[in-house]
Amino acid sequence: MSPTQPEKDQAKSNGNGNSNEDVDGEHNEWKFKAPYKVHDSDPNFKTLYNGSCHCGRVQYQLSREKPLASKYCHCSTCQTLHGAPFQWAAIFHKEDINFTHGHSDLGWYESSEKTTRHKLPCKVSCAYCRSPIMDEGRNMILLFPSLIKFKSDAEKRKFDIECHMFYGNRLLDIKDGLPKWTGINGQSDLIEDSPAEMVKKRKREIEEEGEEGKEEGKKN
């Protein structure tokens, strides 16, 4: 659904542009949808955390107390785009974030086509200081907690990671006893110092999947 004129006027007043050229057209519709649509008029949006990029042009709020999940990703794309051994990502619903400043200072990068158009899934960063802000998926966002201004260690602990993904591609070993997946968690093999009970459980799941595949093959 295209934005209404009042929504366009509100977008301009929130820093999304100074003219209709900044809000008209399909290429601007992202400004009126979650996670970018401002929640100023939503009484149910309760700010629990604040975050910003390095230069401060992009600022946002979070309303969820704890991410749906928190992970370290060791895939080569994250390593390259972050210039780091791994990416720390916390998963949220798109409605959990409210950008209060810097909508017009956001930049995109979609890695499969290597395009800077807003094409999902994509990397979102500050177009000025280049700080990575989040990965935007089709349904969720993977926010980078290092940008959040935690007020206490207790708040930060709510973002503790649960597992490692693509650990087979790691650039350094992390002996933390957490589950370490060769690919996407729950869809690949567990390796290294993953908890023994989880390794056994995953082996049983793989064996059961194999048996189910054999049964399906017999039916066909």
Q: Which CATH architecture fits 34-219?
A: Beta Complex (2.170)
DSSP E strand stretches across 94-217:
97-101, 106-109, 122-126, 132-136, 140-143, 163-165
pLDDT for 12 equals 47
Q: What is the pTM (predicted TM-score) of this model?
A: 0.76
pLDDT for 32 equals 80
Q: In angstroms, rounded to a whole number, what is the distance separating the alpha carbons of residues 103 and 37?
A: 9
Number of neighbouring beta carbons within 10 Å of residue 68:
11
**Secondary structure of residue 120 in the 3-state scheme:** coil
Which residue in 149, 138, 130 sits closest to 82, CA to CA? 130
Are 88 and 194 within 8 A, CB to CB?
no
Taking the chain (220 residues) in runs of 10, the rounded mean pLDDT of each run is: 49 45 58 78 85 96 96 95 95 93 90 90 95 94 96 96 95 92 91 79 79 64
Domain boundaries, the chain: 1-33, 34-219
pLDDT for 18 equals 43
Are 165 and 135 within 8 A, CB to CB?
no
pLDDT for 204 equals 81
- φ, ψ dihedrals at 27, nearest 5°: -70, -10
State the DSSP code for 90. E
